[in-house]
Amino acid sequence: MKFRSLIYILVVLNFLFIIPVHAEYSKESLFPERIYHSPVEISNNYLDIAVEFEESWSLGRFTLGCTGGDPSNQNDDNQILLYGHPLPLTSFTTVRIDENNRIFGSEEGTFSEIPTDYGTYVKGVWTCDNIQVTQVCELVPNPSTGRADAMKIRYQFTNVDQIESHNVGLRILLDTMLGPNDGAPFQVPEVGSEMGIPITTEREFLKSRNEVPDFWQSFDDLNNPTVVSQGTLKGGDATEPDRVIFASWPDFYDTTWEYSITPGKPFGYSGYPDSSVGLYWNEVNLDPQETVEYVTYYGLSDLSQAFGDISLSVTSPIELEVVNGQYSPNPFTIQAYIEHDLSNPSDIDLSIELPEGLELEGSSVTQRIENLGPNDQRSVVWYVRASEQTQNQLFTYTITASAAEMATQSVSRGVTVPSMSSNYDTNFRPDPNGYRFLNTGRDNLAWSQFCDLYGADEIEINGQRLPRAENFYENSYTHTANGGRCFGMASSSLYLCQNSFEGYDIGNNWLDDLPNDDIFPDFLSTIQDWIEYYHPRQLDNVCHEDRGIYNNPQIVYNELKQRMNSGNGWDDPMVIDIWWSWYDTNNQVWRSAGHTVTPTRIVESADHSSATVFIYDNSKSTTQERELIFDLSNWNVRDGSSNPWNGGNVFNRVTAVRLSSIQQEPQMRNYETITSPTGHLFYTDGSGNNLGYYNGEFVSDIQGAYKVEITGAESEFPETYDIGNLDLRREIIGTEDEVASVSIMKPSALIKADISASEGSQDELYVPVDGSSVELISGDSTGFVRLMLDQETNNYARVVMIESQNFEPGETLGLSFTEGLTGVKITNAGNRRELHLYLEQIGFNPGTYDCPFEISVDENSSATIIPESWDDLGQTRILIQIDIGNDGSIDQTQTIDGESGMTVALLAGQTLDVGMVNATYDEANLYIKYTTEDGWTLNETHIAVAGDLEEIPTTKKGDPIPGQFNYSEEHLLGVTEFTYTLPLADLGLGSGDTVFIAAHAAVQKEVVEDDGIILLEEGAWGAGYAFPGRNWATYFSFGIPEETPSISDQTPLET
């Protein structure tokens, strides 16, 4: 993600306000002063897109500016195309839902994905009133210039309501600014009385009256423009608006939808022209789960010019596109702008000369502009239709301007008309462009390869593996190649050919050394390293995005055809994924398989009913092209080769991924995985939509969430999901009697859960979007639960793990870190619970603390565990704070003294602190020391020590019986300290055991009052956890550690 390093100070109001009319208008003065955070930006050699992703009032707004701009126009370097760039301020989008106007990105809705940089585009997903709106601002090739200097603005609306239909509409306000000119006039190709006059006052064009032009342009000076901009309204995949207005920004900005133009009204105010563009798409009805998409373009344009007595400038598309088998736009528009600098008005004739293959449609060859004044500007348009071509053709046309007493002026300009041929070719061939060896699988990709791909600084701290990275490595990365490395072979072979390498040049075997060339990173040695560097990249989100865009045979075929036809099939080639199902007879379930191949050329049938897409299939012959047969009527695909995949049957799905996406910097995704075959993950959103397996059926109807599937992995690739930033209900559905293991990755966090499952069991696991906590909600009687929570910073990762057993339906167990990651909070809603605790710190001061004793948390209570030092967990003192009733108060405290024992308060009369009980041990003995304070003394002490709570003497109701404790003592008057020394061997205790201690005392204190000395006598207990009975007696426990395993060595207990 690219950020600017400056902090900008701006003046801003709420996004809607009334702008006062006054003589000295200053746009900047309309905003209250504030610090403005940098937006997310993407750029190339021509343009820079900025989208706000942090500031709440302008979240989702975008701007556009030049970087290098038009290479032939030095004036437009680093100039602005939308006001405020790079700060999104004054352009905004209205989403109209059931006649209610909502500003995209406002707090009226919520973002499931804030605007995020995907390399060549920025995407944000915002939902309001059951309408999910996806905004994509993308840098794309511009048919008007032949360069990637256009911003594609795309909005996709999806009705996520399961029951009701909704009406949706769209308005985009673009606050245009050309360099320093905030009020530059507009030019549109039109005929009639307004023909060719620059638009400097408010105008509108309606689709219902067939008035919407193909495009609009804006520039400040025809002869020496600072910037030439263009908005494309029709042609290609642009969605023609229902209404286009050119309006005065100060008035237009004050509205969210309705705006009536005032014909003749100048843009802005006297002394400060201020123009804007409004694009409207009227409301349409969306049924539940129905989607509609709108696309428009804004960016640069260019002019072919000649100067003299007559200044002539001409614009038209540089190339046409093929869309659904037709040229687009066709007819296309040629517009000529004219000025002269003579002293008198003149009549100007403009004529067009077209080559064969282009012909006029509804236009005259010669058009006259009458009485054109000196330095006035006018324009004329011609509509031209291209005939079908069998190969790419560059057609050159000429515009000539003539007038009496003026020298004739001519300008020629070219337009490329692509081939409509049935044959399309990339010139890639399996021999020699493919590899000399066949695709095979490999079970374990090494951690060192993982480091090379994602960067050691991202996955390790001080040489130690971060839990989040290790989880991704073990549950995703290492599984990608066990069935084959097809994705890596397909994509890397394309990149080789882009760089003039042939696959056959670099070796005959997997383990041959790579040539010495800059395209191969220094850390790669063999061809196998190179292929395995590319293969796991299909895990990246941008590749999944591509698979979501190019997601059916029709889209894939048309995209391949267009790319091969335009030459972009070589500049940014694609790989094809084919997917099918197969029946696993061993487990009696249907499974999905996927394979990635390289498309080489297309041969389409003469009647356009089918097409053969020839491929390099790295799992078959290394010298022959194989065939995929596309049915262009029913839009399905099958393998037409001998020995076909899927037995020659129709594939379930066909997807595609661009090489430019594969080459983006890889990022670990926040995947959610169930790593055992004993259950399934199942998700539900707020509208009742589902994702996952239920009763043997797979359901996928949650927008923005999907099951992760990759090519090259065998059936044991774990069941994995990507739910983005959605806050979904998450259930573990059991399929057999065994422990189900789940891992959930969040930004800077990892959550793991091991839950005993049974056939049909349903337990809920709640994790907030930020991954700050985890809560188990038992759906059935759950026998065993282990929860792990990992939080990571730049300097360390802190891990906590707890275990417990025997959950009743509806009981919950929560785990979270306290503020600043200083401690851990365990929350219990249900019966009293015994827990095993494990702490670990990974980083520059690593340490572990394994606490093999049962921390008891009372019914509907919580315990907060705070180590004095995370840097020395093995020896540090650990404070435990007990909140009985979960009301926010600290009712009891305990202290664990490193590895040597535990200290608890000695409480008299249930709440009065009269001293402490300290339990320590060495290799031979257990030492229990009573200490009283504040004038209290010991009369009697009673100690029960056991390795199991049930071994402490109690009544049938669970109340302890001090008189039956195995150790007791009567003390002389005034004793304030006493220590029991108990041999561990006599107790039957040793390394790895939990020690349960019930410490009772009878205490007294003399109090001097006016009428004499009063003797206070109380019973006291070492503070801890309540016994099951009805009295207030308590016990405490701690563990005698054994050698502590690392967190990765922990395995589920048998249940």
Three-state DSSP at 652 gives coil
Torsion of CA 572, 573, 576, 577, to 10 degrees: -40
Average pLDDT, integer, range 855-874? 87
Determine the 3-state secondary structure of 243 from DSSP: strand
- Tell me what pLDDT residue 849 has: 58
pLDDT of residue 31: 58
Extract the tokens encoding 470: 């290790």
Burial class of residue 23 (count of CB atoms within 10 Å of its CB; 0-12, 13-18, 19+):
exposed
Place of tokens 């055809």: 561
Cα Rg of the chain, angstroms: 37
Q: How far apart are the C-alpha atoms of 340 and 144, rounded to whole Å?
A: 26
**Helix (H/G/I), strand (E/B), else coil: 252:** helix
Given a cut of 70, whether residue 1 has pLDDT beyond it is no
CB neighbours of residue 1008 within 10 Å = 8
In this predicted structure, what is the pLDDT of residue 328? Answer: 87
d(CA 478, CA 963) in angstroms, rounded, equals 61
pLDDT of residue 908: 92
| Span 179-205, average pLDDT | 80
Residue-range domain boundaries for the chain: 8-300, 304-421, 424-445+480-662, 670-738+758-763, 772-894, 902-1039
Structure-token pair, residue 912: 């009065």
pLDDT digits 0-9 by tens, 212-266: 999 999 887 767 788 999 999 998 889 999 999 999 999 999 999 999 999 999 9
Q: Which of 562, 579, 580 is nearest to 571 (CA)?
A: 562
Q: Would you state the torsion angle of the CA atoms of residues 205, 211, 215, 216, taken in this order, to the nearest 10 degrees?
A: -40
Nearest to 618, CA basis, from 510, 427, 485, 500: 485
Map residue 471 onto helix, strand or coil. helix
542: three-class secondary structure by DSSP? helix
Average pLDDT over residues 861-871: 90
Tokens of 382: 């011609």
Higher model confidence: residue 566 or residue 634?
A: 634
Three-state DSSP at 995 gives strand
**Which tens digits make up the pLDDT trace of 741-787?**
999 999 899 999 999 999 889 999 999 999 999 999 999 878 899 99
Match 């001998």 to its residue by tokens: 642
Buried b (16+ CB within 10 A) or exposed e, 830-869: beebbbbbbbbbbbeebbbbbbbbbbbbbebbbbbbbbbe
- 10 forms beta bridges with 34
Token pair listed for 816: 């979270």
In CATH, the architecture of 8-300 is Distorted Sandwich (2.70)
pLDDT digits (tens, 9 = 90+) for 937-951: 999 999 999 998 899
In 100-209, the DSSP E strands lie at 100-103, 110-117, 121-128, 131-140, 150-159, 166-174, 186-187, 203-206
Contact 1038, 897 (CB under 8 A): no
Q: CA–CA separation, 120 vs 118, rounded Å? A: 6
Q: How confident is the model at residue 321 (pLDDT cuts 50, 70, 90)?
A: confident
Residue 25 has pLDDT above 70, yes or no: no
Q: What is the chain's percent helix, strand, coil content, to nearest 5?
A: 10, 45, 40
Q: What is the pLDDT of residue 846?
A: 74
Tell whether the model's pLDDT for residue 1045 goes beyond 50. Answer: no
Question: 304-421: same fold as 8-300?
Answer: no
* Identity at 573, one-letter amino acid code: P
The residue type found at 970 is E
531-558 pLDDT tens trace: 999 999 999 988 988 998 899 999 999 9
CATH number of 304-421: 2.60.40.10
* pLDDT for the residue numbered 34: 45
Which class in CATH covers the domain with range 902-1039? mainly beta
How do residues 441-454 score in pLDDT, each as one tens digit?
888 889 999 999 99
CA distance 439 to 424: 27
For the chain, percent of residues with pLDDT exceeding 70? 92
Q: How many whole angstroms separate alpha carbon 302 and alpha carbon 215? A: 13
965-997, pLDDT tens digit by residue?
999 999 998 999 999 999 999 999 988 788 899
Phi and psi angles of residue 535, each rounded to the nearest 5 degrees, phi first: -60, -45
CA nearest neighbour of 946 among 895, 999, 896, 994: 994
The mean per-residue pLDDT over the stretch 359-366 comes to: 92
Query: What pLDDT was estimated at residue 14?
Result: 36
Q: Reduced to 3 states, what is the DSSP secondary structure of residue 439?
A: coil
Mean pLDDT for the chain overall:
87
- Residue entry with tokens 């899927």: 646
pLDDT at 390: 78
pLDDT at residue 43, as a whole number: 93
% of the chain with per-residue pLDDT over 90: 54
Write phi, then psi, for 382 (nearest 5 degrees): -125, 140
In tens, the pLDDT along 633-655 reads 899 999 998 888 888 899 999 99
Closest CA to 128 of 190, 170, 66, 88: 170
Cross-strand bridge partners of residue 328: 321
Give dist(CA 116, CA 138) in Å, integer.
12
Residue with tokens 């499931």: 112
pTM of the model: 0.62
pLDDT score recorded for residue 782: 82
Cβ atoms 758, 743 nearer than 8 A = no
